[in-house]
Amino acid sequence: MNFKLTEKKINDIEADLEVIVVVGEDLDHRFVKDRELLEKVAFKGGQDEVYYLPERDRVYVGVESIGGENMRTAIGVLARRVRTLKYKNLKIASYMNHPKCTAVLRGVVEGFILGSYSFEKYKSQKSKSHLKEIIISLEDYREFELNLESCESALEKSKIIAEATNFTRDIVNTPPEDFYPKVMAKVAKDIAKEGGLECRVLKQKDIREESMNALLAVSRASSRKPRVIHLSYKPKNPKAVISLVGKGLTYDSGGLSLKPSDFMVTMKLDKSGASAVLGVMKAISKLNLPVEVHGFIGAVENMIGGNAYKPDDVLVAKNGKTIEVRNTDAEGRLVLADVLSFAQQEVDADYIFDMATLTGASVVAVGNYTSTVMGFSDEVKDMVIQASKRGGEFMTKLDFNRYLKKSLKSNIADICNISNTRYGGAITAGMFLSEFIEEDNRDKWAHIDIAGPAFVEHEWGENPAGATGVGVRSICRVIELLAKRNIECN
Ligand code: BES
Ligand code: ZN
Ligand code: ZN
């Protein structure tokens, strides 16, 4: 999809289709050309309400008020509606909420790219999208004077991030038969080649040498051998160094603690954390930001078989801690325990973020659309949440507490892989991970449980049914925030 910014007035632009945004149900604005007709069909212009006028080649969409988030979802819904229509290009004016802040433009661009996504790799009949060009006029709804150069740069950033999100969606949507650890390693290598990143892939033998025994136990029953991946982007004079760690369960059957069949369907989603890391790494070199970023991935399949790891086993993790396995379906934390240790061994980062579809409990706690953020430092958690808001993702904090921590006690090992209480499962999983964060790194780390929004079986806003690519937008915004920070202020 091509975007063109122009200083031409909206009415002077030739285009096949015109998009008009109705703000706050105000049908009197000069941009609204079909007031009577819209009133006749009872179109009010509520948030995300779309009305297409084929005879006039116009399409209307409503936003409650002008803002990045509102615009992203409204344009996302509109883009999905017009995707298969036979228009080659469309035009839209600018709807800014400040002459210098490009947040709304970013929402518009991301809305178009994210809303137009569809996953049709496995359909014999593929739908065709004709729309090739989006022309954005700098003529503004409130007549702000906009700066072409800063708009161009915002557009470029948004394009990179939204395309990386779609890339992540493709990976997550791909079935486990076609996407297993070796494939993930190949994708990582391709990203490295394309973006000039470094990439190291650890195969089973190397993983064994690194004593990542918890990860190895999870992978043991699968015919697909595990991989640990380390991608790095190292710009000159970085303002910060961050490590991203992704849960890459290319399939989670539950292992011997087998999932009931209804719960097993969609478990290809369990590679969403790793896929988001891949998406960020794909975006990062193009964004050209002065932040050193390392992506670590534990790519593993959790299956059953004669050599499967068992409830009752005791594993010795990479950091030497012993773990009593009481449920083989709580496998993500075992994989992450070792990959977090590995990441800390390899890189002395200023920030460590892990992303994982870790617990159903996170979804129970906050619903399908929101990720939960955990860790010891409020500053770090708040930074992630602030960035997620800018990126158009929902994230909220879940606090650790020492009473829940006790529920992870084991009689025979250092810790259990599940808690002994039914409640607070997202937090106890996060507290389990915290056991694998070194003392010096406690205030640098945040754990993001993306189990809810990673894969939703219906469309919502700019997200399609299926994989959403959650995490890519938020982490890219974190990196943008860190890139802007003055090192003396840190
Ligand atoms: N991958 C699942 C978590 C999950 C569930 C992600 C639903 C997305 C949607 C994870 O490995 C898992 O099975 N967790 C268990 C933990 C339990 C055994 C303590 C869960 O959440 O039920
Ligand atoms: Zn599981
Ligand atoms: Zn899992």
* Per-residue pLDDT tens digits for 122-143: 999 999 889 999 999 999 999 9
**Does 90 have pLDDT greater than 90?**
yes
Radius of gyration of the chain (CA): 23
Q: Among 224, 318, 333, 390, which one carries the catalytic annotation?
A: 333
- Which residue is it, tokens 């205030």? 443
Q: What are the backbone dihedrals phi and psi of residue 322, each rounded to the nearest 5 degrees, phi first?
A: -100, 140
Say what the pLDDT of residue 488 is: 38
**Does 453 have pLDDT greater than 50?**
yes
User: Is residue 259 annotated as a catalytic residue, yes or no?
Assistant: yes
Say what the pLDDT of residue 490 is: 30
- In which region does residue 409 sit, left (phi positive, over 0), alpha (psi from -120 to 50) or beta (all else)? beta
Determine what percent of the chain is predicted with pLDDT higher than 70: 99
96, 104 contact by CB (below 8 A):
yes
Q: What is the mean pLDDT of residues 64-82?
A: 97
247, 447 contact by CB (below 8 A):
no
State how far the alpha carbon of 197 is from the alpha carbons of 98, 156, 159, 168, 406, in Å: 37, 20, 20, 18, 42
Distance 364 CA to ligand 3 centre (A): 16
Closest ligand 1 atom to 358 CA: 3
pLDDT band at 485 (very low <50, low <70, confident <90, very high): confident
Q: Among 33, 203, 259, 286, which one carries the catalytic annotation?
A: 259
pLDDT band at 245 (very low <50, low <70, confident <90, very high): very high
Say what the pLDDT of residue 236 is: 96
Say what the pLDDT of residue 156 is: 98
User: Cβ < 6 Å from ligand 1: which residues?
Assistant: 252, 269-270, 327, 329-332, 357-361, 363, 418, 425, 451
Say what the pLDDT of residue 218 is: 99
Spatial strand order of the sheet with 240-252 comes to 198-202, 227-233, 291-302, 240-252, 351-356, 445-449, 370-375, 394-397
Closest ligand 1 atom to 359 CA: 21
**Does 416 have pLDDT greater than 50?**
yes
* Sign of torsion over alpha carbons 107, 247, 342, 372: positive
For residue 475 the two structure tokens come to: 């982490």
Say what the pLDDT of residue 27 is: 97
Distance 141 CA to ligand 2 centre (A): 49
* Residue 141 to residue 7: CA distance in whole angstroms: 14
Summarize pLDDT for 191-204 with one digit per residue, the tens: 999 999 999 999 99
289, 274 contact by CB (below 8 A):
no
User: Is residue 56 annotated as a catalytic residue, yes or no?
Assistant: no
Q: Best substitution site from 358, 404, 433, 456 to test ligand 1's pocket, by max atoms within 8 Å of Cβ?
A: 358
Least Cα distance to 26 among 88, 86, 91, 95 occurs for 95
**Does 489 have pLDDT greater than 80?**
no
Distance 488 CA to ligand 3 centre (A): 40
Summarize pLDDT for 254-303 with one digit per residue, the tens: 999 999 999 999 999 999 999 999 999 999 989 999 999 999 999 999 99
Q: Best substitution site from 262, 331, 359 to test ligand 1's pocket, by max atoms within 8 Å of Cβ?
A: 359
Summarize pLDDT for 293-347 with one digit per residue, the tens: 999 999 999 999 999 999 999 999 999 999 999 999 999 999 999 999 999 999 9
Q: What is the mean pLDDT of residues 38-43?
A: 96
Least Cα distance to 160 among 287, 38, 56 occurs for 287
Say what the pLDDT of residue 487 is: 39
Mean of the per-residue pLDDT values of the chain:
97
In SS3 terms, the chain reads as CEEEEECCCHHHCCCCEEEEEEECCCCCCCCCCCHHHHHHCCCCCCECCEEEEHHHCEEEEEECCCCHHHHHHHHHHHHHHHCCCCCCEEEEEECCCCCCCCHHHHHHHHHHHHHCCCCCCCCCCCCCCCCCEEEEEEEECCCCCCCHHHHHHHHHHHHHHHHHHHHHHHHHHCCCCCCCHHHHHHHHHHHHHHHCCEEEEECHHHHHHCCCHHHHHHHCCCCCCCEEEEEEECCCCCCEEEEEEEEEEEEECCCCCCCCHHHHCCHHHHHHHHHHHHHHHHHHHHHCCCEEEEEEEEEEEECCCCCCCCCCCEEECCCCCEEECCCCCCCHHHHHHHHHHHHHHHCCCCEEEEEECCCHHHHHHHCCCEEEEEECCHHHHHHHHHHHHHHCCEEEECCCCHHHHHCCCCCCCCEECCCCCCCCHHHHHHHHHHCCCCHHHHHHEEEEECCCCCEECCCECCECCEECCCCHHHHHHHHHHHHHCCHHHC
**Does 448 have pLDDT greater than 80?**
yes
Distance 1 CA to ligand 1 centre (A): 37
Can you say how many angstroms the Cα of residue 159 is from the centroid of all Cα atoms in its chain?
Answer: 15
Least Cα distance to 170 among 227, 117, 127, 244 occurs for 117
Determine what percent of the chain is predicted with pLDDT higher than 90: 98
- Which residue is it, tokens 């640098």? 444
- Give the residue, by CA position, lying nearest to ligand 1 atom 7: 360
Q: HSE (CB half, 13 Å, CA atoms) of 457?
A: 4
**Does 349 have pLDDT greater than 50?**
yes
* Residue 134 to residue 46: CA distance in whole angstroms: 23
Q: Which amino acid is at 136?
A: I
* Residue 398 to residue 426: CA distance in whole angstroms: 8
**Does 55 have pLDDT greater than 60?**
yes
pTM over 0.85: yes
* Residue 364 to residue 426: CA distance in whole angstroms: 9
Say what the pLDDT of residue 285 is: 87
Distance 34 CA to ligand 1 centre (A): 50
